[in-house]
Amino acid sequence: MLFMVEMDVNIPLGFDPEEAAQLKAAEKARFQELQQAGTWRHIWRVVGQYANVSIFDVPSNTELHDILMSLPLYPFMTMHVTALCRHPSSLHDDDR
Does residue 1 register a pLDDT over 70?
A: yes
What pLDDT is stored for residue 88 in this prediction?
Answer: 84
* pLDDT, tens only, 20-63: 999 999 999 999 999 999 999 999 999 999 999 999 999 999 99
* C-beta separation of 26 from 83 below 8 A: no
How far, in Å, are 45, 50, 68, 69, 72 from residue 78 at the CA level? 15, 11, 11, 12, 13
What pLDDT is stored for residue 87 in this prediction?
Answer: 84
CATH homologous superfamily of domain 2-84?
Dimeric alpha+beta barrel (3.30.70.1060)
Q: What is the pTM of this model?
A: 0.90
